[in-house]
Amino acid sequence: MTPFIAIMILILTVVLLYHNGRFQTISSNLGFSMVVISILMLSHYYFTFGTSRFWLAVFFRHSFPVYFLLGPSLYFFVRGVLTDRPGIRYRDFWHFLPSILAVVVIFPYIFKPWSYKLQVADDILRDYRVITRVPFLFEYLPIVNFVLRNMSILGYIIYSLLWIHRFDRHYPDRLRIPHWDARKVLRFMRLLLGICLFGTLALIPPYFGFHTDASITSLQFAAHPTMYFFTGILAFIPLIILFNPEVLYGIPKVSAQTVREASVPAGWLEDEKEPEDGIHQRGEGEARFRELADRIMVHMEDQKPYLDPDFTIEDLAGQLEVPKHHVYYCFNSILKARFTLMRSEFRIRYAQHLIRDGASSSKTLVSIGFESGFSSSASFRSVFKEFTGMSPREYQRSQQALKN
């Protein structure tokens, strides 16, 4: 069960990063955390239940530095969400020092022959307590590793939870964030950190007992109830992400910049409901990134960036000078439309405008398609028919018939 859950988390993380990582750095931070958790799950499984000498040789010692990455990865995710400034800066280097030192500790072992590592794996399979007796470099005993890595993980988790609590109660820009989406993201972060906190605390007694009590066998250690509970509950994390993609957008803040009112085409924005108390609060009614949604529509109407065949959502974010995940959030939560769908509709509307104005009398329909931003005549014809129900030629004839 553990390898299945760990591999499932890895697969879903790869999918998450593939579809969202280039738009939202927050997704990358979360994905990194999930990858670390998956590696630690696999490492734990092959240390306790596994019978494969190959995989035991792969994970033994080599996974040691990864343990010190769990705390920082969770912290970077939380920090990126709460500050709306995802990413790792140069001064964050010190967070990686424990993991770097762990690499130094196992450095001689890394370059040992593969045959030697397989022999160590065989020794562990015959007697699991070999792990507790084999020192690291500089007589660095495994029990010291166990204490330090858990202190590191607990410290980062507790600090992150306190930061979330302080943000939730005292954040001064509360009205500049999408309220209900913020609640979802905060709940998800608390859940993720709570699971990791529970797992770390729950694993301390069996781990400590195994290292100090020679009568405890590896099977008794592996069969501890907290092991099964912790592994099972981790499976819910990727499911929460799948059914609540809002957690991938973080908590983007509404810009304080005043923008001109936009005439948004009907159907793009949902009607805004009057709150029960009859009071519109910025951040819950008008906000929810309606400001940025208006800016997007104004920019598309006035600047017509979609006429560039290579125009992407990243280009749109750069032109508006806003973070990419803000734009991505707007399309998913405010405009309720895919970027590619909106881009195609603007292009079709532009092509229709050219045909109605008689451009087709001096230009071919293919050239009108290229001028409207399509990269090929085939895509122009197929998308045009999809949106209008007729081919460009049929639409041209219908407009000529109306004029006659």
- pLDDT tens string, the chain, 404 residues long: the values are 667 777 877 787 777 666 665 556 667 777 888 888 888 888 877 877 767 889 888 888 888 888 899 899 889 988 888 877 767 888 889 999 989 988 888 888 888 899 988 988 888 777 766 665 555 544 445 566 777 888 899 999 999 999 988 887 765 445 445 554 577 788 888 888 888 888 788 777 766 666 666 565 555 555 566 666 666 666 677 667 766 666 666 666 544 443 333 333 444 443 344 333 333 344 443 455 777 888 899 999 999 999 999 998 888 988 888 777 778 778 877 888 889 999 999 999 999 999 888 877 788 889 999 999 999 999 999 999 999 999 999 998 888 887 76
Q: Hey, how many other C-beta atoms are within 10 angstroms of the C-beta on 75?
A: 21
Residue type, 52: S
Q: Specify whether domain 340-403 bears CATH 1.10.10.60.
A: yes
pTM: 0.67
pLDDT of amino acid 305: 94
d(CA 28, CA 294): 28
Whether the CB-CB separation of 232 and 268 falls below 8 Å is answered with: no
pLDDT of amino acid 146: 73
pLDDT of amino acid 277: 35
d(CA 171, CA 3): 40
pLDDT of amino acid 59: 87
d(CA 239, CA 225): 23
Q: Please report, to the nearest 10 degrees, the dihedral formed by the alpha carbons of residues 264, 268, 273, 274 taken in order.
A: -10
Radius of gyration of the chain (CA): 28
User: With helix as H, strand as E and coil as C, how does the chain read?
Assistant: CHHHHHHHHHHHHHHHHHHHCCCCHHHHHHHHHHHHHHHHHHHHHHHHCCCCHHHHHHHCCCCHHHHCCHHHHHHHHHHHHHHCCCCCCHHHHHHHHHHHHHHHHHHHHHCCCHHHHHHHHHHHHHCCCHHHHCCCHHHCCHHHHHHHHHHHHHHHHHHHHHHHHHHHHHCCCHHHCCHHHHHHHHHHHHHHHHHHHHHHHHHHHHHHHHHHCCCCCHHHHHCCHHHHHHHHHHCHHHHHHHHCHHHHHCCCCCCCCCCCCCCCCCCCCCCCCCCCCCCCCCCCCCCCCHHHHHHHHHHHHHHCHHHCCCCCHHHHHHHHCCCHHHHHHHHHHHCCCCHHHHHHHHHHHHHHHHHHCCHHHCCCHHHHHHHCCCCCHHHHHHHHHHHHCCCHHHHHHHHHHHHC
pLDDT of amino acid 25: 62
pLDDT of amino acid 282: 41
pLDDT of amino acid 381: 92
Whether the CB-CB separation of 223 and 258 falls below 8 Å is answered with: no
